[in-house]
Structure 1
């Protein structure tokens, strides 16, 4: 199997993103690189350009990277990183943070390509819980 698409979780809360990363690692049995860019460099609530940039680099194994921000400034900061470092293999996805991340992880774990992983996140927007 080729290298999987990497995942970056961008959140204001290190605890929130770390918990979600733990869930994704269980779902994928650790087969998918999941990196967290959450909070500020000093561990406070917020977002960090530097942490996002590093997480994208760390998650990239050659098959592309999907970036899932939680809300607000995490979206704006991620956009700035992507504008400053354009790369067609790094895609920010507009999807529910938890549901989209689970869909992405499960799809990436199958060895799917970047386009298929992105499509799975888009589909997660319409999945009902009950």
Structure 2
């Protein structure tokens, strides 16, 4: 099953969103990298890397993020991973809340990483799932 990583600058937002997504799809493996190690607002490459490792699956992982610097740190975190893992991870630019819930539901019904990514990218264009 595809895994999901949620990256947010706020620990509360990240954990709350995970809780909401798991209400809709409790069997999906979701990890959160939110805030900094010392509890401040921001993102942290080490936390992102740990979140990826926590839910890594041969089926792949989708990573969703809230703001531009979270994207930058996600891309940097991927640089620290083994090559075979990098190719099974998709960073998707989509609305975070809607994307997390829709992505979790799609994963829970057996969609593969390509199908999940395509749907989430359509959401960015204003199309609702």
TM-score (normalizing by structure 2): 0.91
Shift of 1:111: 1.1
Does the residue aligned with 2:120 lie in a helix, a strand or coil? helix
2: CA distance between counterparts of 1:82 and 1:95? Answer: 19
CA contact (8 A) 1:96 1:124 kept: yes
Give the ranges of 4+ consecutive aligned residues of structure 1 lying more than 6 Å apart after TM superposition: none
What stretches of structure 1 of length at least 5 have no aligned partner? Answer: none
2: CA distance between counterparts of 1:88 and 1:58? Answer: 17
What stretches of structure 2 of length at least 5 have no aligned partner? Answer: none
Does the residue aligned with 1:67 lie in a helix, a strand or coil? strand
2: CA distance between counterparts of 1:116 and 1:67? Answer: 14
* 1:11 matches 2:15: no
Query: 1:25 maps to what in 2?
Result: 22
Does the residue aligned with 1:37 lie in a helix, a strand or coil? strand
TM-score (normalizing by structure 1): 0.90
CA contact (8 A) 1:103 1:124 kept: no
2: CA distance between counterparts of 1:120 and 1:60? Answer: 21
* 1:127 matches 2:127: yes
